[in-house]
Amino acid sequence: MGENSDEFDRLVSEAIDIVIRMQNDPANPVPVEMARSWRARSERHEDIWSRVSGIHGASGQLLEEQRRSQRNVTRRNLIGGALGVAGVAGLGALTIPGALVRAQADHVTGTGEIRRIELPDGSMATLGPQSALAMTLTRTERRVELLMGMCFFDVARDRARPFVASADGVEARALGTAFELSSDADIVSMAVAEGAVEAAAPGTAPALHEMLTLGEWLSYDPASATVTRGRREPGEVAGWRDSTIVADRETVTALVARISRWIPGTVVSAHPSIGAQRVSGLYDLRDPLAALEAVVQPTGARVRRLSSGLTVISPI
C-alpha cells in the first residue's frame, strides 16, 4: 500500500473520530477546537473534512434519535447509518434496507442473499441481495414494485391481467416474458431473457417509451433522461443468479452499487469523480471485493477493506 493511500485512510479515520466526539458531546468546546485546528493543517485536511463532516447535516435526525435514546454515537453506527445517505458531500454508501423500505416491502433480502419467491399469480421472482419487493395484485392487474436492488421475473401468462414491474418511476410491462429489473444508484436497468418487455417512464420529460425483445437490455438515468441500450446472450441476463455480472458500458456508480450488495457492511466512495465513467467486463461475485477492484481499477482508484464493516474506494 502506497504512502498516499495510507495517508488518506489515516486522515479519513481522524476526521471520523473528531465528528464522533462532536456528536457525543455537542456542548464541549474542545472537539470544536480540535476540528478547527485539524482542518487548518492543509488543504487536504480541509477537503476530507468537508466530505466527512457532511454526515452531520445529512443525518441529524438519526443522531438526535441516538442521543434521545442515551446511546453514544460510535464509529460503527456513524458510518453504517449516517454514511448510508447516498451522495453525502461526495461520499456514496450502500446499506441494508432501512426501516421505511422494510415497512413497505413484502419481501426483503440481506447481504449476499438470493431468494426465489413464488408470487400468488404463479409467476416466479428471484430477488437479489439487499433487495426489497412489494406486490399489489388485483383482478385487473398484477403490479410489483422493486423498492431497491434487483429481481428476475419469470412471468406466468394471464391475458386478463397485465404484469407490470416498476423501479424508481420506471415501468416494465411484461409481454409473456422473463426479464431482469434492477435499480443501482438511481439508474434503472432491465434485460429480457424471454419474450418482450415494454419500458416506460411516463413521469419524465421526455417520456421514456422503449420496446425490448429477446437479449436486449436498457439502462435509464432518470436524472438526465439518458437511455443506453445493447444486446447480450439471453443466458447472461441476471447472471448474478450464478455469481456473475456482465457489464456493457455501465457506469462505475451503478456497478459499485450492484456488487456492494454482496459485501458486508458499508461501501463508501471517496473518489466521486469516477462515478460517471463507463466500464465493461465480466465480474465474478464469488469474490466480490476482487470484482469491485476490477471495476474501479481502470479509473485510477482502488478498494481497501478498512474494517469488517467499512470498505473504501479511494485514489491510488
For residue 34, is pLDDT > 50? yes
Q: How many angstroms from the chain centroid is the CA of residue 24? A: 29
Domain residue extents for the chain? 1-90, 99-234
DSSP codes joined into one string, 110-129: -TT--EEEE-TTS-EEEE-T
Bridge partners for 115 per DSSP: 127
Residue 220's pLDDT band (boundaries 50, 70, 90)? very high
For residue 74, is pLDDT > 70? no
Fold classification of 99-234 (topology level):
Jelly Rolls (2.60.120)
Residue 96's pLDDT band (boundaries 50, 70, 90)? very low
For residue 22, is pLDDT > 80? no
Q: In what order do the strands lie in the sheet with 310-315?
A: 92-94, 266-269, 310-315, 301-307
Q: Where are the alpha helices (DSSP H) in 200-268?
A: 252-259
Distances (CA, A) of 296 to 170, 180, 219, 273, 276: 28, 24, 20, 11, 11
Bridge partners for 246 per DSSP: 282
Residue 97's pLDDT band (boundaries 50, 70, 90)? very low
Could you tell me if 150 and 182 are in contact, meaning their C-beta atoms sit under 8 angstroms apart? Answer: yes
Mean pLDDT, residues 250-254 taken together: 92
Residue 66's pLDDT band (boundaries 50, 70, 90)? very low
CA nearest neighbour of 130 among 106, 147, 153, 155: 147
- Looking at per-residue pLDDT, the higher value among 297 and 87 belongs to 297
